Structure 1
Amino acid sequence: MVRLAPGSAFAGYRIERLLGVGGMGVVYLAQHPRLEKWVALKVLNESLAAEPAARARFDREAAVAARLEHPNIVAVLDRNSPEDEYLWLSMPFVDGCDAAALVPPGCGGMDPARAADLIEQAARGLDHAHRMGVIHRDVKPANILVTVDPDGVERALVSDFGLATSLHAAATASSIGGSFAYTAPERFRGEIVDQRSDVYSLGVTLYQLLTGELPYTYVDQAALMAAHLQESPPRLCDLWPELPVGLTEVIVTALAKDPLDRFASCGEMARAVLEAVTPSPEVTGSPPIRPNTGGDTGRYLLPPGGFDVPSGVEVLRSERTRVSAERTRSRPPEGGRHRSQLGRRNLLRAALAAGAIAAVGGVGAIVVRGKSSAGTEPVSTAPALAPVKLDTGRTQGIRALAYSPDGTQLAVGADMGVLQIFGVRDRQRTEVPPEGGTIASLGYSAAGDRLTACDILGTVRHWGIQGGVLQPVGDQAFTKAAVSRVAASPDGSVLAVVANGSVQLYDSTDLHPFGDPFGQKASRLSFSPDGGQLAGVLPRTDGGRNVVTIWDVHSRNVISEWEIAGSAGVYCAAFQPSSSILATGDSEGAIRLWDTRTGAEVGSMQMPGVEAANLVFNSSGSVLASFGGDNTVSSGAGRIWLWNVSDRRAAREPLVIPDRTLVTAAAFSPDGRLLASGGTHGSLYLWKADW
């Protein structure tokens, strides 16, 4: 374990004092070498740094974590270089405590309204990470930091993104045993996970904040794993009748054994918690599990002066100190067979799944089975708006969709580098061997003879397409530590890259830069349909204004620039084809239309209680599709809103995804007759247009 003395220097930082020691390493309070600010410097154990596989995983995941920018996420400011002896991260120092310190053992839980507020804030940060293709995998109270803003408002931030993902694969069962209490069942089964695993862990966290206890309290790890796999969680209303009754069903849903039975996102769970703890004179009994379509909740205010540890813990302890004697640490399950026997078998399966490292060899020519004739026929004789489900055979979340110019093929990019090509008419699937990170964007060349994919790790892959054969033609990679976002032009020929906030254009074939970086900064990018213009959005996370910049791609000149007032962060932007209109969507569900020549607002629409995280126009620009990171209805299904741009009204009722999955990507076919939607768990649908 690395031990640094106060006043010593490490990676340019001056060590002030030790903050904490954990199983993976040590955290120090340190001063930035050039800025007058304090940071938390996390230095991992030498044993991890000496393991090549663990080091590679850490570097890869730390690069991804460094790209997460959200007010409810502890940002990664800097990290080790590949040649450094030690693995380390620097993060902003959060002056407060973690949520676990607010519910010390034997002291009961916290006020339900306060727990709901902390969970809601953590859910915002987690949902942002999930939109970026990052799964935390170690959500627990110790990884939710709590501080107080200058105005006395409590703020929660999720920490340690990327570390759990990169290190769990190399860790032993004993070294991660402290997190077993929060681990989703599918991880013990060795299955591929998505954001619903974080939903489960957030549900366990909620249980602990409300009660001061864990739902499963076995000491034996095998018994604890078996409980997660097979044992229903205790019902809150039976053991803690003073808690709002609706919280019981929230816990039951969040801790469902099957991921498909859980909330589809952390945000959906948080809204159900807020609804359960909010008194309603019109409703009695258990509130339904559905999104809250009302306004944002207020923050939990602390007494003037804030708090520190441990005095704040004493102030914030709940009156409830009930300890359930019925749930002992060694009771056997019903049926006579002790769960530890079942758990040991699953422990072996989980260890084998965690330790496996997939190796992908060379990629040969791949036959694309879609038809090559121009145009498309209706893909189904089913009634209008009964979608056709395409079988991806995968559970990875879909992040990017692109039609070929003739509309006969649909390219699908997903988490973990998964890339598939579907024939639109015959629905046949072609699988490209997975490689790299989550695919963030896809683009066909104008002639349809080339496909380009960009992932969130900064790797660009190209395939040539001839006679229905997909042939790899080479990979390129940016410096992974520098790139935070990559967007491809519609034909895949030009890449717009955000590095350290600056925007740079590159030729996608050889990553040769086009001139110097733009002088303006941005963190959200969108090309116009003809690839001639680029929109960049710099969202403000401190309640200030969002800045939108429009560049001419060829001359690299600024066409226009304007500010969007308000505290809502702008999540996305999309150009209307054959016009000078840009649509933007924000965290409060507002969709605004702007004249790109003047920056004047020319219209707006409002999504009901859902953040507008994604916008897609059809080829004529007459219809706009919108969907969000938390776009779920009461049954848990995702929704897509369709808008007539001419009158700013809904074109029809929202499209409802049948299998309850979040919508994470969408694309209209070139002729506008089909809409493809992709979501979590590999959900892929085709909708026949009737709008």
Structure 2
Amino acid sequence: MEKVGKYELVREIGRGATSTVYLGSDPFTRREVAIKIAFPGILKDPRRGKLYTHLFLNEAALIGKMSHPHIVQTYDAVVDDQLCYIVMEHVPGGTLEAVCSPDRLLSIERVVEIIFKCTRALDFAFRMGITHRDIKPANILFVNTDPTQGDIKISDFGAAIIGSPDRTLVLGIGSPAYMSPEQVKDRALDHQTDIYSLGVVMYQLLTGQLPFQARNSYDLVYQIINAEPRRPSSLRSEIPAALDAIVARAMSKQLDVRYTSWSEFGHDLTLAFRGRRLSVPAERMADFEKFERLRSFGFFTEFSEAEIWEVVRFSKWSRVAPGTVIISDGEVGDCFYFLAEGELKVLKNGMLLDLLTSGECFGEMAVIGKPNSLRGADVVALTDAKLMMIAGTALQESSATCRMHFYQSFLAVLSDRLASANVRLVSF
């Protein structure tokens, strides 16, 4: 089997203008990787060699720095005159290009979920001082082979601005159809250029076509600077007005009208999604809605975004009707819960001990106490309620930092409960 460095090359999985991407194997970690290898001599190109070198060095500079569940990890790199390659996380599901045609469109809810996850990933990059500059469907990957479900990851930060915006690095980088007006004008760029590009991606995912249909590159640049695209809903009738407005704002030519922050973009997506699916079953809630719900709970204040996404992945969500017994006194417990919506009552021998409201956890002693410990009370739904359940095994298999933050928050919860119990005792 052919090798590059320590990595074994399994097969070619992609090819671009400057490089070939191979599925590879790391013999030490025994994991599959994607290896992007520059074409021989590409860095010596008399006209574009410096640019190509910059692109590879940019990606190499991000090794170990971009740890986010929706960003492709860069593991290793070699950049020299003889050999140039980048070793990355292998993401097997293909790119968003597969669902950008009118006959392959995803559901509107799925599109909103994908774009929301992109906003979180790009906000993470922005807070690290990184602007991607080449957001397009080809650089957003599906983790699963089924594009209708699962996570996405943003790839190819070779064109990124790392640190302060630098006008000298703009020319010749990016994909014209997704470029912002300021990018085609060769002006200084910041994260708002990525917001515009993601708006174009959202438009294409919703409608199956690009916002500007141009005869040539000159016509395209003219339209990007001067023309307004058709509303997405004029091309797909079920698109709600709220999403028309979000796309229009993300793609605004005026920087003071365009979203100024990723959190603002993501917030509007969340509101639009909730307005469209008020009665969605809890188990079918979109991941981004679960993420937003957990992030609003005080319990998760100290959790990083990556840890909250981890919780979203290993938790199970459900909706229960009034009167449903969720926990029974005396049964063996192997999981704990969070109340995401509604009200629950806690009973002991039929007597009311407490009322639980949104954001509260319960049943945690089953996983922080002795093995096979028994439940100490009944917990019954007082209203329609939405629950998140976490199995004890899932918690034990979570990352060390995620587990640590759970136990820290459990201690805070137990401390608060003890303080409340003392107050009640004093009042008697």
TM-score normalized by the length of structure 1:
0.39
- SS of 2:256's equivalent? helix
Whichever residue aligns with residue 257 of structure 2, its letter is: D
Give yes or no for contact 2:43–2:50 (8 Å, CA) kept in 1: no
C-alpha deviations, 1:591-648, integer Å up to 9, x for none? x8xxxxxx989999xxxxxxxxxxxxxxxxxxxxxxxxxxxxxxxxxxxxxxxxxxxx
Q: Deviations over 1:361-402 (max 9, x none)?
A: xxxxxxxxxxxxxxxxxxxxxxxxxxxxxxxxxxxxxxxxxx
Give the deviation of 1:233 after TM superposition.
2.0
Q: SS where residue 295 of structure 1 aligns? A: helix
Question: 1:565 and 2:406 equivalent?
Answer: yes
Contact 1:95 1:147 in 2 (8 A): yes
8 Å CA contact retained: 2:8, 2:25: yes
Question: Structure 1 counterpart of 2:205, which letter?
Answer: L
Superposed, which structure 2 residues align to 1:277-676 within 5 Å?
Answer: 277-279=273-275, 295=293, 544-546=399-401, 563-565=404-406
| Deviation of the 1:186 alpha carbon | 0.6
From the superposition, tell whether residues 281 and 36 of structure 1 become closer, same or farther in structure 2 (CA, over 3 Å). closer
How far off its partner does 1:59 sit?
Answer: 5.2
C-alpha distance in structure 1 between counterparts of 2:188 and 2:294, whole Å: 33
Matched residue of 2:69: which SS? Answer: coil
Report if the CA contact (8 A) 2:60-2:76 is conserved: no
How far has the Cα of 1:16 moved from its partner? 0.7
Equivalent residue, structure 1, for 2:116: 120
Count of residues in correspondence between the two structures:
301
Residue 543 of structure 1, CA deviation: 5.2
Name the aligned partner's letter for residue 399 of structure 2: G
Q: Is contact 1:106–1:212 with CA below 8 Å preserved after alignment?
A: yes
SS at 2:28's partner residue? coil
Which of these residues, 75, 80, 97, is aligned with residue 77 of structure 1? 75
How far residue 111 of structure 1 moved from its aligned partner, in angstroms, is: 0.7
Q: Contact (CA 8 Å) 2:37, 2:84: kept in 1 or not?
A: yes
SS for the counterpart of 1:154 is: coil
The whole-number CA distance in structure 2 between the counterparts of 1:138 and 1:260 is: 22
Q: Deviations over 1:495-538 (max 9, x none)?
A: xxxxxxxxxxxxxxxxxxxxxxxxxxxxxxxxxxxxxxxxxxxx
- Deviation at residue 164 of structure 1 after TM alignment: 5.2
Q: What is the CA–CA distance in structure 1 between the aligned matches of 2:142 and 2:241, rounded to whole Å?
A: 27
Question: 1:19–1:27: 8 Å Cα contact kept in structure 2?
Answer: yes
Letter in 1 for 2:40: E
1:50 deviation in Å?
1.9
1:106 CA drift (Å): 4.0
Aligned residue for 1:50?
44
* Other structure's SS at 1:564 match: helix
Which ranges in structure 1 are unaligned for 5 or more consecutive residues? 1-6, 283-291, 302-539, 548-561, 567-583, 585-591, 593-598, 605-691
| Alignment match, 2:230 | 234
- Contact in 2 for aligned 1:544/1:565 (Cα 8 Å): no
Equivalent residue number for residue 35 of structure 1: 29
1:93 to 90, 93, 105: 90
Aligned-residue offset at 1:171: 9.4
Which of the residues 235, 246, 251 maps onto 1:250? Answer: 246
Instruction: Measure the CA separation in 2 of the matches of 1:37 and 1:198.
Output: 31
Q: Which amino acid aligns with 1:93?
A: H
Asked whether the equivalents of residues 48 and 54 of structure 1 are also in contact (C-alpha less than 8 Å), the reply is: no
| Aligned AA (2:158) | G
How big is the shift at 1:64? 3.4
In the alignment, what sits opposite 2:7? 13
User: 1: distance between equivalents of 2:170 and 2:11?
Assistant: 28
2:66 & 2:277 partners in 1: Cα distance? 40
**1:145 and 1:156 in contact (8 A); partners too:** yes
1:25 correspondence with 2:23: no
Q: Check the 8 A contact 1:204/1:214 in 2, yes or no.
A: yes
Amino acid paired to 2:29: L
- Correspondence for 1:265 among 254, 261, 265: 261
Distance 1:195 1:294 in 2: 22
Change (3 A) 1:149 1:188: closer
CA distance 1:170–1:88, shift in 2 (3 Å): farther
**Could you list the per-position Cα deviations for residues 249-306 of structure 1 after superposition, in whole angstroms to 9, with x for gaps in the alignment?**
1111000002221112234223322322333699xxxxxxxxx9962699999xxxxx
Counterpart position of 2:272 = 276
Match of 2:24, as an amino acid? A
SS of the residue 1:563 aligns to = helix
Q: Verify: 1:65 aligned to 2:62, yes or no.
A: yes
TM-score normalised by L of structure 2: 0.61
In the alignment, the residues of structure 2 paired with residue 565 and residue 182 of structure 1 have an alpha-carbon distance, to the nearest angstrom, of 41
SS of match in other structure, 1:80: strand
Letter in structure 2 aligned against 1:64: A
SS in 2 for 1:17: strand
* Candidates 181, 190, 197, aligned match of 1:194: 190
The offset of 1:239, in angstroms, is 3.2
- Structure 2 counterpart SS, 1:243: coil
Secondary structure of residue in 2 paired with 1:122: helix
The secondary structure found in structure 2 opposite 1:90 is strand
Identity %: 27
Q: What residue identity is the alignment partner of 2:258? A: R
Contact preservation (8 Å) 1:244, 1:277:
no
Secondary structure (helix, strand or coil) at the match of 2:14 reads strand
Q: Distance in 2 between matches of 1:234 and 1:253?
A: 13
Aligned to 1:643: none
SS at structure 2 position matched to 1:42 = strand
Greater helix content:
2
| Partner-residue secondary structure (3-state), 1:252 | helix
Instruction: Give the superposed CA RMSD.
Output: 3.8
Q: Deviation string for 1:41-93 (max 9, x for gaps)?
A: 00123344225633652354224322111110001000005x46122101111
Deviations 1:293-345 (A, max 9, x none): 962699999xxxxxxxxxxxxxxxxxxxxxxxxxxxxxxxxxxxxxxxxxxxx
Q: Residues 164 and 21 (structure 1 numbering): CA distance in 2 closer, same or farther, change over 3 Å?
A: farther
* Among 192, 206, 212, the residue aligned to 2:208: 212
* 1:118, distance to aligned residue in structure 2 (A): 0.9
- Structure 1 distance, partners of 2:294, 2:199, is 21
Structure-2 separation of matches of 1:18 and 1:149 = 18
Q: 2: distance between equivalents of 1:127 and 1:88?
A: 27
